[in-house]
Amino acid sequence: MKNLTIVKELASLRQQINEHNYRYYLLDDPLISDAEYDRLMRQLVDIETTYPELITIDSPTQRIGAKPEHGFHEVKHRIPMLSLENGFDDQEIYDFNDRISNRLDVDHVIEYCCEPKIDGVAVSLIYEKGQLMLAATRGDGHVGEDITQNIRTIPSIPLVLMGSNYPELLEVRGEVYMPQAGFDQLNNDAKEKGLKTFVNPRNAASGSLRQLDPAITATRPLDFFCYGVGDVGSAVLPEKHNEILKKINTWGLRINREIDVCKGVDACVEFYQKLLSKRNNLGYEIDGAVIKVNHIKLQNQLGFVSRSPRWAIAYKFPAHEESTKVLAIEFQVGRTGAITPVARLEPVFVGGVVVSNATLHNMDEIARLDIRIGDTVILRRAGDVIPKVMSVQLEQRPANAQKAILPKKCPECGSNVVKSDNEVIVRCMAGLFCPAQRKEMIKHFASRRAMDIEGLGDKLIDQLVDNELIHHVDDLYKLQHESLSSLERMGEKSATNLLGAIEKSKQTTLPRFLYALGIRDVGEATALQLANHFGSLDAIIDGNNELLEAVSDVGPVVAGHIHAFFREQHNLDVIKSLQVLGVHWQNIVVESVDSILSGKTVVLTGTLVKFTRDHAKDILQSYGAKVSGSISKKTNFLIYGEEPGSKLEKARKMGVAMLNENELIELLKQCGYSHNE
């Protein structure tokens, strides 16, 4: 009787899995998430393992090929620790190989070194005369943090190199990670002690390395894999990447045993697939495969782009997915008045974190997904990407599922909401008077890159607004010591310090002030361009759309936002009040430019050799040209370098004048430019 029940359960599981295979592979219309599919397969494997006599040749398990801070000193890296380009499917890897072949101008098979992409923390280790002298985090790639004392607590990192013949200076680069077993034990111990647990091994490794007390780091189960070298001084190392790894391994540095040399791109894709099948059994987290050109000479020949080497790519594993229920759909009001629907979800662990919210962007997206309150949805989160609702499992929709209804009034202030003809976003029109926008506007105004009012944090701004001490940004400069010091957690000294910071912020710059106003689509770069182009705030206020569009990077849409902002009287009133209260800046002297490039619109594309794109842009603008990012009817010249891309063909079709780099230099010489300057 028991066997009969098992047979029926097996038949049901096999039927479900076969149906899901059909929908996934043939119809490209999956009904369940990858995680749910994996659970079904695991359930089937478990039963077949227990009852091997019930395994049939048509079971899905038998299908061939279907296997599933503060306190750390800054350290400037001698050689930048760049990030990697990402690929997400086979075609992107084949495209990468094509770019390598074309750039090297070869038609033979290229040799690659393939490695697991460890999901940990990238670090740099400096050995001098064989002794570990310095360890640093990657940081922003140029500057990291000194974590030497914490690194010294990791048993797999040698304090002194083994053997001999190692370079006098050796910079080793690798990944510090926490093995899965150690992570599980760490969290179990934390639970027993009532402490906060870590969300994933990478988070635990990062937190452990940033402990100010090395004794705490020493209790954490950290490990290390080396993936390459940085600065080695004048030392001569082997000619291939994999041979370098083998060599440093003889000096006592741990390398990953899954590393392999692959002849050609097909072998790289095969390596990726094999690694993916091992992913859950390695004992540590990996999130893809790293593919590197193996010959160092070819690496040097290929070089780098601004943020990554041309000779390497990370082939990322598929995004993590899970299913969960939509508990509610609420609407939030942002700083610019945009009203955004947000799905409140039944909490689910996906992609290494617990997710309970996901933005639905706008009502068009809600309609596209046909998502309703009570639905079961597939949620995807890849790496550090914001969770995204991918689809709705319509077959699981309950009878009482409710549609989301766009509010006719702002959920924060009750004002009217409006949708522009050219936008999918609905906005509250209350501007500075909407509580949601008011708080965010003030937070933006006071932020470090705007007016830089030190000590005026988000919680304090919330208090000031909630207690009706400030209604608009100019009210910040009317605050009194008595009212401030009476606030929660705000004593006499804190109030004095804050008033001092507010007073200090009165002296600012025109670009900072423009950015602080929070005009839609006017970021720091655009604010700087506006300031340099017009020189004064009055000139910007008086500028019409045509004059505004003459500014680099300001198109019709942004010009419209700027023009509309300064046509609102309450905005002008606030600006005037700020100036009366003492906020001031120096106007910028705008030199008139008269050259053959004056007023011309220029587009740059491709890689320039004799100067960087930014340098070329600065030079062109200094002679009165407007540098745009896209080809249009207004474009006068296209300047192209190596690998120009689609802009060259578009310019050719539109009859736009095209200049190579040498022709650009000749044109600039006519404006008085000397290439030696």
**Secondary structure of 286-307 as H, E, C letters:** EEEEEEEECEHHHHHHHCECCC
Where do the CATH 1.10.150.20 domains begin and end in the chain?
Answer: 432-505, 510-580
- For 264, left (φ over 0), alpha (ψ -120 to 50), or beta? left
Please confirm, yes or no, whether 669 is among the known catalytic residues: no
Range 320-403 has CATH code 2.40.50.140: yes
The CATH classification of domain 78-311, taken from the options 3.30.470.30, 3.30.1360.70, 1.10.10.10, 3.40.50.11270: 3.30.470.30
Q: What is the pLDDT of residues 368-420, one digit of tens each?
A: 889 999 999 988 775 546 788 888 999 999 999 999 998 888 888 777 777 76
Where do the CATH 3.30.470.30 domains begin and end in the chain?
Answer: 78-311
Q: What is the pLDDT of residues 300-341, one digit of tens each?
A: 999 987 678 999 999 988 757 789 999 999 998 886 788 999
Identified catalytic residue from 8, 117, 193, 647:
117
Strands (E), 311-375: 312-316, 320-333, 338-350, 353-359, 372-373
- In 3D space, the residue among 648, 646, 674, 642 whose CA is nearest the CA of residue 661 turns out to be 642
Alpha carbon distance 472, 433 (integer Å): 8
Q: Using the structure block, give the residue that is written with the tokens 């970021």.
A: 523
Per the structure block, which two tokens stand in for 76? 């400037």
Q: Using the structure block, give the residue that is written with the tokens 């490794």.
A: 205
| CATH classification code of 432-505 | 1.10.150.20
3-state secondary structure of 225: strand
Range 601-670 has CATH code 3.20.20.70: no
Q: What is the pLDDT of residues 639-659, one digit of tens each?
A: 988 888 788 888 888 888 888
Where do the CATH 3.40.50.10190 domains begin and end in the chain?
Answer: 601-670
Where do the CATH 1.10.287.610 domains begin and end in the chain?
Answer: 2-62
Task: Provide the pLDDT for residue 509.
Answer: 93
Alpha carbon distance 453, 169 (integer Å): 45
Where do the CATH 2.40.50.140 domains begin and end in the chain?
Answer: 320-403
33 to 20, 322, 378, 469: CA distances (angstroms) = 10, 6, 6, 50
Residues 403 and 369 sit within 8 Å (Cβ to Cβ): no
pLDDT band at 69 (very low <50, low <70, confident <90, very high): very low
Q: What is the pLDDT of residues 577-624, one digit of tens each?
A: 999 999 999 988 766 556 677 778 888 888 888 877 777 877 787 777
Per the structure block, which two tokens stand in for 547? 């004059």
Q: What is the pLDDT of residues 203-247, one digit of tens each?
A: 889 889 988 888 888 899 999 999 999 999 999 999 999 999 999
Instruction: Give the fold, CATH level 3, of 510-580.
Output: DNA polymerase; domain 1 (1.10.150)
Q: What one-character DSSP code corresponds to residue 22?
A: I
Q: Which CATH superfamily is domain 2-62 in?
A: Helix hairpin bin (1.10.287.610)
User: Which range is least confidently modeled, 40-49, 190-199, 222-231, 457-466?
Assistant: 190-199
Average pLDDT over the chain reads 85
